Amino acid sequence: MSDIDEGFYSRQLYVLGHDAMHRMGTTDVLIAGMRGLGVEIAKNVILSGVKSVTVQDEGQAEWTDLSSQFFLKESDLGQNRATCSLQQLSDLNPRVRVSAHTGALDEELLLRFQVVVLTDSSLDEQKRFGELCHSRGIRFIVADTKGLCGQLFCDFGEEFEVLDKDGETPTSAMIQGITQDNPGVVLCMDDRRHSFSNGDKVSFSEVQGMTELNSMEPMEIEVRGPYSFSICDTSGFSKYERGGIVTEVKQPFKLHFKPMSEALLDNKLLTMNDFGKIVRHQTLHLAFQALHGFVKKEQRLPRLRSQPDAETLLGMVRELNAVAQLEELDEAAVRSLSFTARGDLAPINAFIGGLAAQEVIKACSRKFTPLRQWLYFDALECLPEKEDQLEEDDFSLKGTRHDGQIAVFGHAFQGKLERQKYFLVGAGAIGCELLKNFALIGLGAGEGGHITVTDMDFIEKSNLNRQFLFRSQDIGKPKSEAAASAVREMNPRMNITAHQNRLGPDSEGLYDYNFFMGLDGVAAALDNVEGRVYLDKRCVQHQKPMLEGGTLGSKGHTLVVVPHLTESYGQDTSTSNNAIPLCTLKNFPHRIEHTLQWARDHFEGQFKQIPESVNLFLSDEGFLERTLGHGDAEALEVLEGVWNNLECIKDGGQRPRSWEECVSWARRKWETLYNNDIRQLLHCFPPEQVTATGLPFWSGSKRCPHPLTFDPNNSTHMEYVMAAANLYGQIYGINGTRDFASIRKILEGVHVPSFTPKSSVKIHVTDKEMEEDKAKGTDEAGELFQLADVFMMLPHFLPGFLFLYFLCVLAPDQARLEELKGKLASPSLKGSAVQMYPIDFEKDDDTNFHMDYIVAASNLRAENYDIPAADRHQSKLIAGRIIPAIATTTAAVAGLMCLELYKLVQGHQKLSSYRTSYFMLSVQYFVWAQPRRPQSYELAGKEYTLWNDFLVDGRRGGQQEMTLGDLRQYVKENYGLTICTLFYGPAIVYNGQKERHKQRVSDVVKMVTKADIPPHKKMLDLEPSFAEDEDNEKAPTIRYLLV
């Protein structure tokens, strides 16, 4: 891969990096077996961007394949699986050469590849080809699934070098002090804990005083506490003065693997991914070997639900344990494996296929820590909670596309799946994988069943790398429609409707009470917390289960919400603790994240918010009044921006009439931001400034800046002017250019006003100080206006003179605000003004100047403060708030979500049956846990949870609607509680007003909210408090129905 297509691989590049991607681009991969697991691995590996993939399979497509092989159709039955899958696999990523091999595996074939993956293979083949690959330095992976169990094995040879253990950004911290001692102790700034671990190697930079550290090789540390660690002997070094950054230096390391024949006998090589299932997974290690022996002897897999075959398999496991010497065997798991071994389940293949493909990526890129060497997974808790729920004749296979699933769960369950009505929110990466699984398992694909999917986004090129249902010809189409069309191709029986709506209050007319009450469940495939919180709230309102999952690079998580059994997703618990303080952004940045956020804020303010304010001023009569209601400081800022952008530059404003004036504005803006503002800051806080305690002001996280001098020969300086001028022109409808020569020519005639720092300027050091001054200023302004009002009422003074005197002398900001109000009130102003063109930030278009501006603006700011600059790739990640993503994690998350779906559809009632998960594929780290029970509270002697609401039919079967008195009586009679207060949102519906007892509830709601109830609103959430326990902070919501 000579040139990486950054548009296609955009999100994956933030997971793997350019170097790893280049190494992958030189690797040829063989994937043997094109049943469901093989095609899942192939899909993920092809999307990742290796040099070539060859898919091998001698077999012909069968009915059982269709339950998980998403690139096979019923018309492919009887034809070679690899050949039938080839075209669709090739279409996934034209940058990867994909070919099919329909012959047998042999030594000559394997030696053509650097990575070999075996699926659907015999143990003899695994041993034989494993020995060959181990001896020839070919990375060797085996993946297998049987029913609800999966197996993964890796052998990367005698010696394999890992260049980056986890792919995480190297940890860094700012230094507060270093002792002269043996060992020296480094104390980090206490604004946040360091994230170093014992044995990490670090390097130092920008240390003043103890400068010897700046030039030393990376050294090992020992953690002393959350803010300190020890290093080498520093007793002979110079005394530490100030400053310094310590940064983790990642070290490559080498791993050694055993060939399969040896690894089979070494239980220490089992990677335990679920510490609640240690015995089970040790047993499965023997059971999979026994299963191969069973097949070799009987020439078939165990029969479905066959007790004799299960006992035979268990006997073979016991024989193997005579050598393995496990203290305990999970015999029930062996029987379950035997009963379901003929099953082929899409969710299990999605999960194991995601893990296996991630190991291929590790083998190709040498990034992340490979599996060493065995991993087992099972989801046996998906089986019915009661054995008597299974009927022997329910498992006969009849030649249908779901035979592989019926082999595990039976026909009755299949019918129940097909009758489900589900709502999928989001058709992005996880949404595509879920829809694929829904099609394969037949969710909503029968009579009475249905899937509704909504996503407001349209397909972009960067989506194609992981949203595998889309192709290049789909770019620009709605995601939901393209995804729905694609899964109909996989399963023509799918009943699916695609919407392009954002889920939120604005779409409640469509997704109303009737819609939610008609659902069996909801799946959230959203990329933001706010959307999940809102959807969760709707599910709690309507007592519906919800499946939720998310990814961040190689990390993934899943959650299942079950009414009355588990807690809900809950409120947004994210806080502003990680938000960058305003004073840091404005004056004291010390990380590149700060300068990038500063640049993004300037972009939004100048090129979006100001034009939007101007357009609102011109079109909305109430804009001025609303703006003044936001407080004087905010009103002054907004109205100043509006006025300046309505007034032409020649008249003292900022509205350009030509491209030349746009360049002139950009050049003067450069001078203000990177020279004048810095000189003003240094005038207020000189480099030698000390604090009240005698410590240097410019120390710790405060980096002393220096002003820049504009240089037309400096590329970054010119890139800022070019991008800023073009963007400035765009908001006024003026065309610009990328021609640096012509821009330089214009710059020769630009006059840059001189600047002198002012002693009257106050710069806040902390956000707290800023807020205090803001509050103080508001109070003082209010007092001045009150005093002015008093004097204006006196007959022997001129009111206008006094008003102006008080404002101009004692409150200049208020004077300017009054002046702006007068100017903007002029009727002629709106008549002559023209609309502006606000710009929405778009990070993925390299021709629109957006990232050009961000990168240049941020790096110039970084140069002011001696912060290392960021390249365009890193800047896009941070400023664009990109979520790194890779197809392997997405596939694994969707697989786990659908395993929970099996349980929901069956109606599992045991909390122990369900799982929440968190994992990191980069290091094969997994956490499985039972969901938490909902928190309970006591009210008037009874236990309640968030799921316990009071459902009240307001019209009681077509009668007249309840009065408020009727509602109070109904709750008293049915729940033994007396309503004393009632809220609808923030509005007080009832607080003891007896005159409201005879009013209809909806009429009272309309009266207190001063708004009509929308026609689609069929349920009102009323929050009560009760006389029996009035001090209780929690009480069940009254769900008041208007149907």
**Interval 320-334 mean pLDDT:** 95
**Residues sharing a CB contact under 8 Å with residue 741, sequence separation 6 or more, in sequence order:** none
Q: What is the pLDDT of residue 576?
A: 44
Q: What is the pLDDT of residue 397?
A: 86
Given pLDDT bands bounded at 50, 70 and 90, which one contains residue 695? Answer: confident
Q: What is the pLDDT of residue 779?
A: 52
Strand partners, 521: 422
Q: What is the pLDDT of residue 796?
A: 45
> Helix 887-906 vs helix 346-365: angle between axes, to the nearest 10 degrees?
160
**Lowest model confidence (mean pLDDT) among 15-29, 380-394, 699-713, 936-950:** 380-394
Q: Are strands 546-552 and 555-561 parallel, antiparallel or unpaired?
A: antiparallel
SS3 643: helix
What are the structure tokens assigned to 901, written together? Answer: 């779906």
Alpha helices in 217-277 (DSSP H): 260-263
pLDDT in tens, 890-918: 999 999 999 999 999 999 999 999 999 99
Phi, psi of 409 (to 5 degrees): -110, -15
Strand partners, 348: none
Most confident of 487-496, 762-771, 865-874: 487-496
pLDDT in tens, 413-423: 999 999 999 99
Q: What is the pLDDT of residue 185?
A: 95
> Quick one: DSSP state of residue 673?
I
Rounded-to-integer distance, Cα 101 and Cα 512, Å: 52
pLDDT at 798 over 60: no
Q: What is the pLDDT of residue 392?
A: 65
pLDDT in tens, 941-957: 899 999 999 999 998 87
Most confident of 344-348, 625-629, 843-847: 344-348
List of E strands, 875-1018: 916-920, 925-929, 937-939, 942-944, 950-953, 979-984, 987-990
Q: What is the pLDDT of residue 98?
A: 98
**Lowest model confidence (mean pLDDT) among 339-353, 521-535, 782-796, 832-846:** 782-796
Rounded-to-integer distance, Cα 433 and Cα 450, Å: 17
Report DSSP letters for 675-728, one per residue: IIHHHHHHHHS-TT-B-TTS-BSS-TT-PPP------TT-HHHHHHHHHHHHHH
CB of 204 closer than 8 Å to CB of 216: yes
Alpha helices in 325-472 (DSSP H): 331-340, 346-365, 403-409, 411-418, 429-441
Q: Is 847 exposed, middle or buried (0-12, 13-18, 19+ CB in 10 A)?
A: exposed
Average pLDDT over the chain reads 91
CB of 913 closer than 8 Å to CB of 381: yes
pLDDT at 925 over 80: yes
**Interval 165-190 mean pLDDT:** 91
pLDDT at 811 over 80: no
In what order do the strands lie in the sheet containing 555-561? Answer: 496-499, 450-454, 421-425, 521-524, 546-552, 555-561, 916-920, 925-929
Q: What is the pLDDT of residue 831?
A: 66
What are the structure tokens assigned to 959, written together? Answer: 């009668």
Percentage of the chain exceeding pLDDT 70: 94
Q: What is the pLDDT of residue 791?
A: 43
**Lowest model confidence (mean pLDDT) among 210-224, 602-616, 784-798:** 784-798
Given pLDDT bands bounded at 50, 70 and 90, which one contains residue 776? Answer: low
Rounded-to-integer distance, Cα 477 and Cα 812, Å: 54
1004: Cα separation from own chain's centroid? 42
Strand partners, 1017: none
Rounded-to-integer distance, Cα 641 and Cα 868, Å: 33
Given pLDDT bands bounded at 50, 70 and 90, which one contains residue 795? Answer: very low
CB of 544 closer than 8 Å to CB of 519: yes
**Interval 873-887 mean pLDDT:** 91
Rounded-to-integer distance, Cα 898 and Cα 892, Å: 10
Please confirm, yes or no, whether 84 is among the known catalytic residues. Answer: no
**Interval 483-499 mean pLDDT:** 96
Angle at 513 (CA atoms; ends 1000, 972), nearest 5 degrees: 45
Q: Indicate the residue type of 493.
A: R
CB of 364 closer than 8 Å to CB of 50: yes
CB of 902 closer than 8 Å to CB of 382: yes
Q: What is the pLDDT of residue 826?
A: 75
**Interval 102-112 mean pLDDT:** 96
224: Cα separation from own chain's centroid? 33
Q: What is the pLDDT of residue 812?
A: 63
CB of 640 closer than 8 Å to CB of 632: no
Distances in whole angstroms, Cα of residue 590 to Cα of each of 49, 598, 863, 1017: 36, 12, 11, 50
**Lowest model confidence (mean pLDDT) among 101-115, 415-429, 636-650:** 636-650
pLDDT at 578 over 70: no
pLDDT at 142 over 70: yes
**Residues sharing a CB contact under 8 Å with residue 194, sequence separation 6 or more, in sequence order:** 171, 173, 188, 226, 227, 229, 246
pLDDT at 211 over 90: yes
Strand partners, 497: 452
**Interval 268-295 mean pLDDT:** 94
Given pLDDT bands bounded at 50, 70 and 90, which one contains residue 243? Answer: confident
Percentage of the chain exceeding pLDDT 90: 77
Phi, psi of 149 (to 5 degrees): -120, 150
Rounded-to-integer distance, Cα 202 and Cα 180, Å: 18
Please state the pTM of the whole predicted model.
0.89
Q: What share of the chain is helix, strand, coil (3-state, %, to 5)?
A: 45, 15, 40
Site of tokens 């189409």: 477
pLDDT in tens, 269-281: 999 888 889 999 9
**Of 232, 583, 684, 980, which one is the catalytic site residue?**
583
Q: What is the pLDDT of residue 665?
A: 95
CB of 372 closer than 8 Å to CB of 268: no
Given pLDDT bands bounded at 50, 70 and 90, which one contains residue 787? Answer: very low
Alpha helices in 605-714 (DSSP H): 610-619, 623-628, 632-646, 659-671, 677-684
pLDDT in tens, 955-1008: 887 788 999 999 999 999 999 999 999 999 999 999 999 999 999 999 999 999
Strand partners, 926: 919
Strand partners, 551: 556
pLDDT at 64 over 60: yes
